[in-house]
Amino acid sequence: MNYIDLRSDTVTQPTPAMREAMAKAPVGDDVFGDDPTINQLQELAAEKLGKEAGLYVPSGTMGNLAAILSHCTRGDEAIMGKRSHTFLYEGGGISTLGGVHSCQINEQPNGALALEDIEAVLRDADDPHQPVSRLIEIENTHNRCGGTYQSPEYLRQLGDFAHARGLVVHMDGARLFNAAVAQGVDVKQLSGPVDSVTFCLSKGLCAPVGSVLCGSREFIKKARKIRKHLGGGMRQAGIIAAAGIVALETMVERLADDHARARKLAAGLRAIPGLLVDEPPTNMVFFNLADSAKVTAEQIEEEMKERGILVHATGARRFRLVTHYWIDDAAVEKTVEGLKQVIGRG
C-alpha cells in the first residue's frame, strides 16, 4: 500500500532525477579526498552558505557531534535549548564521546535563546569549580518549537554576543533551507553570523542520505579527523552525495510548496471540533487534542493508518504532521477528511 506519510520529512524518497544522478556519479575514495562527487557537493554547500569549506557526513547527528567536538575540548560547556534536538535526541553523544557538558536553557516560544538567559548561565573561567563556557548551539528551524525559524537580525545579535565573550556559535540547521525560504532571504544571511552550520540533505530536500557541515577551512580540517574517529569516513560515497547535489540545485525553492500545504492542512484541521491547531511557520503542523476529543492518540494513529495515512503523536494529546515533496494537495485533503471522520467518531 502506498501510504500518505506525514510522520516526518525524513521519510522522503529520492526523486527520479536523483536516482539517475546516483547511477552516473563519478566516485573515488573519499577518505583520500578522491571522490569528485563528494568534493563537488562540499564545495557547492560551502559556496551556498558563504563558508570556506564543507564536509559530507552520514547524518545530521554526526554533523552536530563532529562540530561540537571540533569546537570544544573535554570539560567545556555547550549551551543549548532544553528542547533542542542535540539535547533530546542525539544520544548524549557530546558527553559520552567528547566529554562536553551541556547547559540547557529554556527556548523562547519561537525557538530562540534569549541573550539575557545565555548571559545568566555563562561560567566564570577563573573559578576552578566551573566548566568553561565555550559554545552556543541554535536550532534553525526548531523542530520541537513547531518548525519555527530565526531571523538574520537575531542571528547577528547572537553571533556578536557570543564572539564578544570568546564563545562560538554552532547552528543545527537540519532544516536551514526551510528557514531561508520561509523568510525569503538568502541562506547566507542565516549562516553568515555563526561559526559552523550543519544542514540535512535527507529531509525536505529529499536526498536519501547525508548532511553537510560547513565552516572555516581550519575548522573543517579538524572536523574531518573527528568524522574519521566517529566511523564516518566513507569511501565511494559519491553515489549518495550525487543525490545531494540534485537536492541543492533543484529542491530548495520548492520548499515553499511544502510550507503552503502545511498552512492549508492547518486551516483544514482547524475546522474540526476537538483539534487545537498551531499556525505552521514552515513545514510542520502541530496540534493538540482538546479535552472534548474522546479518542486517544494511539486510536488516531491506528485508524488513520487503516485509511492509508501515517501520522505521528509526539505526546499523549499532541501530534506533529510534516509536509514534504511526496505530499500533494490531494493528500492534504484526504488527511483532513480522515481526521474529521476519526475525531468525529470519538
Residues 6+ apart with CB under 8 A from 169: 135, 136, 137, 138, 158, 159, 162, 193, 194, 195, 196
Options 21, 22, 48, 60; binder of ligand PLP; rule CB under 6 A: 60
- Using the rule CB under 6 A, is 320 a contact of ligand PLP? no
Q: Please report how close the Cβ of residue 63 comes to ligand PLP at its closest, in angstroms.
A: 8
| Cβ count within 10 A of residue 329 | 12
Cell output for 312: 505521528
- Cell 532525477 identifies what position? 17
Give Cα 255 distance to the centre of its chain.
Answer: 14
Cell output for 145: 518549537
- Using the rule CB under 6 A, is 172 a contact of ligand PLP? yes
- Using the rule CB under 6 A, is 174 a contact of ligand PLP? yes
Is-contact 325 258, C-beta < 8 A? Answer: yes
What mask, x for binding ligand PLP by CB under 6 A, covers residues 227 to 266?
A: ----------------------------------------
Q: Please report how close the Cβ of residue 240 comes to ligand PLP at its closest, in angstroms.
A: 13
Tell me the residue ranges of DSSP E strands in the chain.
4-5, 53-57, 76-81, 101-105, 132-139, 168-173, 196-200, 211-215, 275-277, 284-289, 309-310, 312-313, 318-322
Q: Please report how close the Cβ of residue 74 comes to ligand PLP at its closest, in angstroms.
A: 23
The smaller minimum CB distance to ligand PLP, of residues 30 and 139, is found at 139
Burial (CB count <10 Å: 0-12, 13-18, 19+), residue 239 = buried
Q: Which stretch binds ligand PLP (CB under 6 A): 46-54, 59-67, 95-103, 239-247?
A: 59-67
Options 143, 196, 282, 335; binder of ligand PLP; rule CB under 6 A: 143
Q: Please report how close the Cβ of residue 125 comes to ligand PLP at its closest, in angstroms.
A: 29
- Using the rule CB under 6 A, is 137 a contact of ligand PLP? no
Is-contact 123 131, C-beta < 8 A? Answer: yes
Options 59, 110, 183, 189; binder of ligand PLP; rule CB under 6 A: 59
Q: Please report how close the Cβ of residue 58 comes to ligand PLP at its closest, in angstroms.
A: 8
Options 85, 134, 224, 259; binder of ligand PLP; rule CB under 6 A: 85
Total residues contacting ligand PLP (rule CB under 6 A)?
A: 12
**224 DSSP 8-state letter:** H
- Using the rule CB under 6 A, is 37 a contact of ligand PLP? no
Binding residues (CB under 6 A) for ligand PLP: these are 10, 59-61, 85, 139, 143, 172, 174, 200, 202, 211
